[in-house]
Structure 1
Amino acid sequence: MNTTTVVLTIVSVAVAVLAAAVAVLCFMSMRRLAEPHRRFLSALGQIEFPDDLTQYLELLGQVHRRVEDLGVRADALHRVQLRAVSSCGLVHFDAFDHMGGQLSFALALLDHLGNGCILTGLRGRDSFDAYCRRIVDSRPEVDLMPEEEQALREALDGLERR
């Protein structure tokens, strides 16, 4: 063997060893970089890349549409809640001197803005009369009986505590 052949053989072996070392380093780096991706995919239920990626994207689209739908529903519920009864006050009383048992009542029903009504039921010996008085911005449109005023105060106190 001549010197040139020996040198070329040594250089070839050195290049091969160097190439193998670079390949091993690349493989190790690739494994290290792929590990978070592998953990992410396993958390999604063993989705294989890239075949199931389209399924994942479709699922993501479904989730996005569902979230938008829930947002629309939440907005609708919020609008309904704005008009719902938020506070009430109830007072039982005897409307007439000859009646006992506090069978008459005043019931104030208010939304969160202080709008609503007072339902009043007056129980007599042979009759029962009912009245409804409108409340706007926490104020009655007509003069109230003392029991109705007390029911309104109780309902307004309930709004202030919220």
Structure 2
Amino acid sequence: MESYVDVFLAGLTGAVVLLMVLVIVLMVKISGMNKRYRKIIGNSQVEQVDDLLIDLQEGRMKLEGAVKEQADAIDGIRRVMKKMKAHVAVSRYNAFNKQGSDLSFSVAILDDEQDGVVLTGIHSREESYIYAKPVEKGGSNYALSPEEKEVIAQTAAAKR
């Protein structure tokens, strides 16, 4: 009977040693998880990960809203900028051969869609005239001089 007790005690001792090894392994794993948990939590005052995740989700939703607002504002600015008369070309020339110098001019002031105005000043010795012609899609309902067509083409070339 004593031999059964010895075997039983040896088995029990083996089980205890095995359980102690298992406890040590689990403690090491828990320690690693605790370090990762503290790294996730960081300097926040939150004690629970689920609270931290909720805070992060709320912050992300606020950021998404702000990003959408900014994207909408940028789209609005882009629409306005397309209509801005930002493309300008100037050409000076002598409107009357062999009289004076290059005192006449044509100025095109157009937007991205080639809409805007062409101003032309014709200068002679006796008088000067200034004409304004509306421009739509690079053309006009009024006859355009070669110089006016040239400055319109220059704005289109500068846009590219």
Contact 2:118 2:133 in 1 (8 A): yes
SS at match of 1:120: strand
Q: Which residue of 2 aligns with 1:10?
A: 10
* Aligned residue identity for 1:105: F
CA-CA distance at 1:147 after TM superposition: 2.2
CA-CA distance at 1:143 after TM superposition: 0.9
Q: Which residue of 1 aligns with 2:21?
A: 21
Q: Which residue of 1 aligns with 2:143?
A: 143
State the identity as a percent. 20
Q: Are 1:46 and 2:43 matched, yes or no?
A: yes
Matches of 1:114 and 1:101, distance apart in 2: 26
The count of aligned residue pairs is 156
SS at match of 1:140: coil
Matching of residues 1-162 of structure 1 within 5 Å: 2-29=2-29, 41=40, 46-47=43-44, 49-50=48-49, 52-95=52-95, 100=101, 102=103, 104-123=104-123, 129-159=129-159, 162=160
Contact 2:115 2:136 in 1 (8 A): yes
Deviations 1:96-143 (A, max 9, x none): 6765462x4211122222222212234566876433212222222211
Contact 2:105 2:122 in 1 (8 A): yes
Provide the TM-score with structure 1 as the length reference. 0.69
Matches of 2:131 and 2:24, distance apart in 1: 90
> CA 1:157–1:10 in structure 2 vs 1: closer, same or farther (change >3 Å)?
same
Unpaired runs of 5+ residues, structure 2, are none
SS at match of 1:88: strand
SS at match of 1:63: helix
SS at match of 2:108: strand
CA-CA distance at 1:32 after TM superposition: 5.7
Matches of 1:111 and 1:131, distance apart in 2: 19
> CA 1:64–1:23 in structure 2 vs 1: closer, same or farther (change >3 Å)?
farther
Matches of 2:29 and 2:124, distance apart in 1: 91
* Aligned residue identity for 2:155: A
Contact 2:95 2:102 in 1 (8 A): no
